[in-house]
Amino acid sequence: MNTKSIKIIAQLSEGGSMRAKHFINGQWLDAESSKTFTVTNPATEEVIEHLPAGNKLDIDNAVSAAKTAFEQGVWPTLTGKERGQYLRKIAEIITRRLDELSALEVLDNGKPYPEALWDIEDTAGTFEFYANLAEELDEKSEVGITLAEEGFSSKAIKEPIGVAGAIIPWNFPMLMAAWKVAPALAAGCTMVLKPSEVTPLTALALAEICQEAELPAGVLNIVTGLGADAGQALVEHPDVDKLAFTGSVPTGSKIMAMAANNIKNVSLELGGKSPLVVFEDTDIEKAVEWIMFGIFWNQGQVCSATSRVLVAQEIYPQLLKRLTEEANKIIIGSGDTHGVLLGPLVNAAQYDKVLSAITRGVDEGATLVCGGERPSTFESGYYLKPTILTDMAENSWIWQEEIFGPVVCIKPFESEEQAIKMANNSRFGLAAAVMSKDLKRCDRVAKAFRAGIVWVNCSQPTFVEAPWGGYKQSGIGRELGEWGLNNYLETKQITRYESDEPWGWYLK
């Protein structure tokens, strides 16, 4: 464990400015029950922290603080410009603490340090971006409407939805928090955030940052805990007007059913099994690198990972050979070790899940080209070699289901038509990618994909300005850009009768 991480954990355990408590109404509050859950370092399997397992009472307290901050005008009545200044301050503090927050993310999630640094820079960038949108909202939140009927005038205004709940996963902990907190606060909503129980530490750091930025009490509240307790209580709470969820399809489905009880506005960012189609005119080295980035980055624990690779049969043998050579060269190790590009998987449950998925794939007929096992150099830590599988059937479990690990499935194709058909043969539709020197072909294929995010001649680069979200079972709604802000805004029409005379329906 590096010295920065030790310092932060000490702050939590010994009651420093960051606390192993809930952050409610601007204060660090003891939990309503003494139940705790453990947080583990995936590189060593050591328990690094015990945090309060929040329950319904903790969620009630947090929602009540958020509701008071919303209804008593602490936050929504500020101008967009004023809200933007708070978001900008949060971005500045994150930027000042980049190194320390990145070290904390490595410790909690296992990802290699350069990736953690990238995430935290993006987290600051997300707050900065929504600071700008908040400032523009003052002028953009009202538009006139042209009516066909004379004697009336109408306008549409945008208003914050109210109290928002956010539930996030463990793969990009602080960045996923920012994707929800920043647009919600920019819109004028107040929020209760429940981070993943697997990686809650940077969310607590965010609470501390909000304190330093002097964010008004109750605007952002953070309750740590398990999905079935704190998470469910947040989804079911009648005073939560909007619920933004990122996580797996099974949990998303439960959340949608729970939200139906009080017609809560939900947005869902769920899983995927995204295709990457490589045509025969693609430079093989370029293809190999993007295939690797598309599946080995963040240990393959990426919702948009291009985990199904379709390769034109003319270049399939050569590409598979080069990909295998390069996959075998990836340096595996603890995320805080220089040069490491593949860290451990996030925890024992995920490790077992990925290993059993590989076994299931092989049992149903796939060929294991490389990987599929722990590197012999590690005695502890959830390490897994980069894994390549081929020869699976198109309807096989391994080709159709999300594995969420450094495991890529590869198949050849014969024609553009067949590639598109195979790419779209999935219940998911989060992302897709195409590689070819023929940009007209890329454009054709990009439009034919049934997916919300399409990359051309690359895979994964994500920009805060562009919409993010899935087709089919990969979700409902869009995050990032203006779309992300609209997630937290209601639209109201205000229509005025302009005459001084009675309308004349009853009174002639």
Active site residues: 269, 303
- For the chain, the distance separating the N- and C-terminal CA atoms, rounded to the nearest angstrom, is 83
Stretch that binds ligand NAD, among 221-229, 358-366, 381-389, 483-491 (CB under 6 A): 221-229
What would the two tokens of residue 32 be? 């309503």
The yes or no reply on residue 231 touching ligand NAD (CB under 6 A) is: yes
Site for ligand NAD in 149-188 (CB under 6 A): 167-171
The yes or no reply on residue 227 touching ligand NAD (CB under 6 A) is: yes
Long-range Cβ contact pairs of 495-501 (< 8 A, separation 24 or more): 495/147, 495/152, 495/153, 495/154, 496/152, 496/153, 496/154, 497/151, 497/152, 498/151, 498/152, 498/153, 499/151
Stretch that binds ligand NAD, among 58-66, 185-193, 245-253, 363-371 (CB under 6 A): 245-253
- Looking at the Cβ atoms of 221 and 390, the one nearer to ligand NAD is 221
Stretch that binds ligand NAD, among 7-15, 250-258, 387-395, 416-424 (CB under 6 A): 250-258
AA letter at 219: V
Which of 288, 430, 464, 480 binds ligand NAD (CB under 6 A)? It is: 430
Question: Of the candidates 108, 309, 274, which has an alpha carbon nearest to the alpha carbon of residue 197?
Answer: 108
- Coil/strand/helix, residue 110: coil
300 dihedral zone (left: phi>0; alpha: psi -120 to 50; beta)? left
In whole angstroms, what is the distance from residue 305 CA to residue 295 CA? 5
> With the C-alpha atoms ordered 160, 218, 254, 308, is the resulting torsion angle positive or negative?
positive
Site for ligand NAD in 260-289 (CB under 6 A): 269-272
Which of 188, 475, 477, 481 binds ligand NAD (CB under 6 A)? It is: 475
Q: Give me Rg for the CA atoms of the chain.
A: 24
Which of 254, 308, 385, 411 binds ligand NAD (CB under 6 A)? It is: 254
Residue 468 CB, nearest approach to ligand NAD (Å): 6
- Coil/strand/helix, residue 238: coil
- Looking at the Cβ atoms of 183 and 470, the one nearer to ligand NAD is 470
- Looking at the Cβ atoms of 335 and 405, the one nearer to ligand NAD is 405
Which of 40, 190, 211, 251 binds ligand NAD (CB under 6 A)? It is: 251
Strands 387-390 and 367-370: antiparallel
Residue 139 CB, nearest approach to ligand NAD (Å): 30
Site for ligand NAD in 389-428 (CB under 6 A): 402, 404
- Looking at the Cβ atoms of 75 and 382, the one nearer to ligand NAD is 382
Q: How many residues bind ligand NAD (CB under 6 A)?
A: 30
Q: What are phi and psi of 221, to 5 degrees?
A: -125, 140
In whole angstroms, what is the distance from residue 206 CA to residue 168 CA? 14
In whole angstroms, what is the distance from residue 46 CA to residue 216 CA? 36
In whole angstroms, what is the distance from residue 179 CA to residue 166 CA? 10
Question: Of the candidates 78, 269, 266, which has an alpha carbon nearest to the alpha carbon of residue 187?
Answer: 78
- Looking at the Cβ atoms of 282 and 299, the one nearer to ligand NAD is 299
- Looking at the Cβ atoms of 218 and 475, the one nearer to ligand NAD is 475
Question: Interface with ligand NAD by CB under 6 A: which residues?
Answer: 167-171, 194, 196-197, 226-228, 231-232, 235, 246-248, 251, 254-255, 269-272, 303, 402, 404, 430, 470, 475
